[in-house]
Every structure is written in C-alpha cells, then in structure tokens.
Amino acid sequence: MDIVRYGIIGIQGVGETHLRLAQKHQKVELTALVDIDSDAVKYQAQELGIRSFTDYRDLLDADLVDAVSIATPHNLHGEIGLACLNAGIHIFVEKPLANTVSAADAMLSAALLSDLKICVGHQYRTYRTPQRMKEIIDSDILGPLHRILWTWLEFRPDSYYKRDPWRTNWRQAGGGVLLNQTSHDLDLICWLAGAPVEVSAQIGKQLHSYLEVEDVACATARFEGGALASFQGSVNQPGAFSLRQLAGDRAMMVIQDVKSLTGDQTDEILLGHYGDALSSLTASIEPISGQPPITWESINTEPSSTDSPTGHELLLHSFVMAILQGGEPYVTGQSARTTVEFINAIVLSALKKRTVELPLDPAEYDELFSKLVNGEMSL
Ligand SMILES: NC(=O)c1ccc[n+]([C@@H]2O[C@H](COP(=O)([O-])OP(=O)(O)OC[C@H]3O[C@@H](n4cnc5c(N)ncnc54)[C@H](O)[C@@H]3O)[C@@H](O)[C@H]2O)c1
C-alpha cells in the first residue's frame, strides 16, 4: 500500500478539519463521507466526486476505505470505532477515545488483534506550550514532581447546548466539562506526569440546571511518580486566569494565565529554580522559617522557526505514516485510554463519595454509568 483510502464519519464540526486535511495529504485518497445529515453529506460528496453514506455500516461493507476519521458525538466513538476495527479499518478517533474505559479496552483489543492503528484527537500535545512543558519535564530540570495545580476555566452559554443537544446527556456525551472540554487538559496532565493511581473528586452543576452532565469538577489525584495534583475545570466562568503549576524538587514551572489551547499559541512559562534540591535544603537551611531562594527565568514559547505542522495536521500525518510505514501515531489509543480512565475515576469518586484507586474496575464504572444513562442516578 502506498496510499491510504480514507473516509470521514461525521463531517460537520471538527469533521470538517479532518476532511480538509485528508483532502490535501499527499498519501491520502479521500474516497467516502458518512453523516446522518443526508443533505450535507450528499452535497459535500458530490462536490468532491466521492461516495456518501448516511449509515456507517454501509461504508464498512463497501470496500472503499483503509482508514477513517470518526468525528461524531462521543457515544459513537466506541461503537463505530469497534465496528471499523472489526472490519479491518484503521481509525483516527476524535477525543475522547471512548466514554468508558471498557469501551476503550474493546477498541484496543480489536486493534491489537488485527494489527490496526488507533490515533486519538488529543492535538494539544502537539502545541508549542505543552511541547515546551514536556521538554522541561523530560530534561529533569524540575527534578521529581511533587505537586501539580491546574485549572481550566471557560464559559459555555445555554446557546452552546441548544445548538448541540447531544452534549447535555450522559448517553451521548458521556460527561460534561470533564469528557467534553477538559479531556484535552486531563490528557496533558497524564502525558506530562504519568498515570494517576488514586483519585478523589467532586463534580456538580452550578449554572446549567437542564444538563444531565457536570458543568464543574474538582479533583485531587496521586500520580505514579508520587506527585499530588489538584485540578479544577468549569464552564461557568469567563475564560481567564487558567493556571498551570508543576512543582518539582529542584524547580517549579508556572503558566499564570493560560490562553485557550484550542490553537497553537504563545504563552509565557515561568521557571523558578531553587538552586539546590528541596529534599536536601530541608536539612541545610538553619532559620526555622528560612525559605529556599528562587531564581526566576522566563521562557516565551515562540513559534518554531521550522514552521512544521501541529494540531490535527500532525496527528493525521503521523496516523497515515504509521499505517504505511509501521510504528505508532503521535497520540496512541493506549495513551488516550489513560485519560479516559482518569475521567471515569473522577466521576466514580464524586458519585460514590470515596477515593478511587487505579487501575479502575471497568465493570464498576459501567454499572454506575448505566445508572446515569438510565436516569436511576443523577447529579
Ligand atoms: N480535538 C478537538 O479539538 C475537537 C474539537 C471539536 C470537537 N471534537 C470532538 O469531535 C467530536 C465531534 O464534535 P463536534 O463538535 O464536531 O460535533 P458536531 O455535533 O458539530 O458534529 C458531529 C457530526 O457527526 C454527525 N453524526 C452524528 N451522528 C452520526 C452517525 N451516527 N453517523 C455519522 N455521523 C453522525 C453529525 O451530523 C455531525 O455532522 C466529539 O467527540 C468532540 O469531542 C474535538
């Protein structure tokens, strides 16, 4: 194979980005579009001179694609993703990988069985600020991580939910501010700090009483390396003063007012160096209220001079090249599973009012999730 025959399932919203990028990729031949909006999909396919379908199952039978992008409401990622994998088709699935860790596991097993690729739309990992943060962590400037403080704050008016009713309920959206808006940030936290091993949380509804799902979440987590994290996400506040602080044994990294990471923009990262490891300064500082000195360095995450692609363009390219040449896409299904498990654990902890240890019991979450979907339990 030297070209990937490609389909898009869910062509409006972010599916349009997948369509545009697939169209211009030299190793991709766009062959089919699927959407339940029959007028939209027919019109778009006619414009491109390719086939259209309103039921994804008809695409699976048509032998038209080697790979697809899935950009539908969340509940369909697991269902459509698994059906594609079982039909021998590689998938680039939008975030979240699935609503539940059990659905994610079914997809991962199917991919493994047939040697198929899964790429997930966590493109924030490709942006310059998270990239710089990752470089700083990997270069061990911070030393072992002790603490993470991370907020994500933006406003979503009622019109947002009226336009896309699927975002309001457990069955389709699978969750609110966690699975929808902050799955990118929770993904970044796991990408930077490793897997969470213990979670305790509160979630709720503050401004959107008509939602089934949460519009605010606060969680604390312990990570595999020992770091303790506090996370707050809310769609009930203007988008300002989102904060990221990752504090290690030798230095801390702070981004004081994070702009939305929906684009690849510049942020100022402050690096505070202690000059020595805090773990040794505890023994050497004599005055009982003595504070280790901090030397601040400002790092501006300017665009890279190479102008290399980021975001979905980079993800799609990595996906296509993994299919053609082997290796893994930039965001693997396995790494995105960690994010789904983290989010499921936050919901489980909040609703069961207890600390949740990971690995999460998928069956326990499925039972809770089914009660939420069936209305036997609510926020
Ligand atoms: N990575 C990102 O930054 C990013 C940005 C936006 C959305 N997303 C994700 O992309 C997915 C879609 O979100 P959106 O904002 O584009 O939603 P949307 O509602 O704007 O678009 C969803 C599309 O899926 C279609 N659809 C619904 N059911 C379908 C079915 N059974 N078969 C085929 N098509 C179907 C709809 O008609 C629509 O065209 C979600 O998972 C969302 O979280 C990711």
Over 80: is that where the pLDDT of 15 sits? Answer: yes
CATH code of the domain in which 11 resides: 3.40.50.720
Query: Do residues 138 and 117 both lie within one domain?
Result: no
Cα radius of gyration (the chain): 22
In this prediction, residues 298-309 reach a mean pLDDT of 80
Would 378 be classed as within a structural domain? no
How many angstroms from the chain centroid is the CA of residue 104? 13
Which atom of ligand 1 is nearest the CA belonging to 40?
Answer: 39
CA distance 106 to 109: 5
Query: Do residues 20 and 38 both lie within one domain?
Result: yes
Contacts (Cβ under 8 Å, ≥6 apart) of 264: 126, 127, 128, 303, 310, 311
Neighbours of 249 (CB within 10 A): 18
Query: Do residues 114 and 129 both lie within one domain?
Result: no
In this prediction, residues 303-332 reach a mean pLDDT of 92
Query: Do residues 40 and 129 both lie within one domain?
Result: no
CA distance 138 to 280: 22
In this prediction, residues 230-251 reach a mean pLDDT of 95
Query: Do residues 132 and 204 both lie within one domain?
Result: yes
Tokens of 1: 């194979």
Query: Do residues 166 and 300 both lie within one domain?
Result: yes
CA distance 141 to 253: 10
Note the pLDDT tens digit of each residue in 128-154: 999 999 999 999 999 999 999 999 999
* 12 CA to centre of ligand 1 in angstroms: 7
Would 80 be classed as within a structural domain? yes
Residue from 34, 94, 171 to probe ligand 1 pocket by mutation (most atoms less than 8 Å from CB): 94
Residue 115 backbone zone (phi > 0: left; psi -120 to 50: alpha; other: beta): left
* 14 CA to centre of ligand 1 in angstroms: 6
In DSSP terms, 70 is beta-bridged to 9, 93
Closest CA to 95 of 220, 201, 185: 185
According to the model, what pLDDT value does residue 305 have? Answer: 65
pLDDT grade for 257, boundaries at 50, 70 and 90? confident
Which atom of ligand 1 is nearest the CA belonging to 74?
Answer: 41
Which atom of ligand 1 is nearest the CA belonging to 14?
Answer: 16
* 194 CA to centre of ligand 1 in angstroms: 28
String of b and e for 89-124 (b: at least 16 CB within 10 Å)? bbbbbbbbbbbbbbbbbbbbebbeeeebbbbbbbbb
**Domain that includes residue 190, residue range:** 125-306+339-357
According to the model, what pLDDT value does residue 301 have? Answer: 85
Q: Give the residue whose CA is nearest to atom 1 of ligand 1.
A: 121
Query: Do residues 227 and 281 both lie within one domain?
Result: yes
According to the model, what pLDDT value does residue 264 have? Answer: 85
According to the model, what pLDDT value does residue 261 have? Answer: 78
Closest CA to 189 of 154, 137, 239, 140: 137
Would 185 be classed as within a structural domain? yes
Which atom of ligand 1 is nearest the CA belonging to 55?
Answer: 32
245 to 150, 189, 192, 231: CA distances (angstroms): 6, 11, 12, 11
CATH code of the domain in which 253 resides: 3.30.360.10
Residues with CB under 6 A from ligand 1: 9-15, 34-37, 56, 71-74, 76, 94-95, 121, 123, 164, 180
Query: Do residues 155 and 131 both lie within one domain?
Result: yes
Query: Do residues 88 and 229 both lie within one domain?
Result: no
* 70 CA to centre of ligand 1 in angstroms: 8
Over 80: is that where the pLDDT of 306 sits? Answer: no
* 214 CA to centre of ligand 1 in angstroms: 20
* 73 CA to centre of ligand 1 in angstroms: 5
Handedness of CA 139, 142, 146, 151 (dihedral sign): negative
**Alpha carbons within 13 A on the beta-carbon side of 288:** 0
Contacts (Cβ under 8 Å, ≥6 apart) of 151: 231, 232, 233, 241, 242, 243, 244
Which atom of ligand 1 is nearest the CA belonging to 12?
Answer: 39
Maximum distance among all Cα pairs of the chain, rounded to whole angstroms: 77
Note the pLDDT tens digit of each residue in 73-108: 999 999 999 999 999 999 999 999 999 999 999 999
Strands of the sheet containing 28-34, edge to edge, are 51-53, 28-34, 4-9, 67-70, 90-93, 118-120
Long-range contacts of 83-86 (CB under 8 A, 24+ apart): 83/56, 83/57, 84/56, 84/60, 85/110, 85/111, 85/114, 85/116, 85/118, 86/110, 86/114
Query: Do residues 70 and 141 both lie within one domain?
Result: no
Residue 289 backbone zone (phi > 0: left; psi -120 to 50: alpha; other: beta): alpha
Query: Do residues 179 and 290 both lie within one domain?
Result: yes
- Domains contained in the chain, number: 2
Query: Do residues 29 and 98 both lie within one domain?
Result: yes
pLDDT grade for 304, boundaries at 50, 70 and 90? low
Note the pLDDT tens digit of each residue in 16-31: 999 999 999 999 999 9
* 299 CA to centre of ligand 1 in angstroms: 36
Would 376 be classed as within a structural domain? no
Note the pLDDT tens digit of each residue in 161-182: 999 999 999 999 999 999 999 9
Tokens of 239: 């988008």
Would 366 be classed as within a structural domain? no
* 308 CA to centre of ligand 1 in angstroms: 27
Residue from 9, 18, 20, 35 to probe ligand 1 pocket by mutation (most atoms less than 8 Å from CB): 35
Would 195 be classed as within a structural domain? yes
CA distance 155 to 140: 35
In this prediction, residues 218-226 reach a mean pLDDT of 97
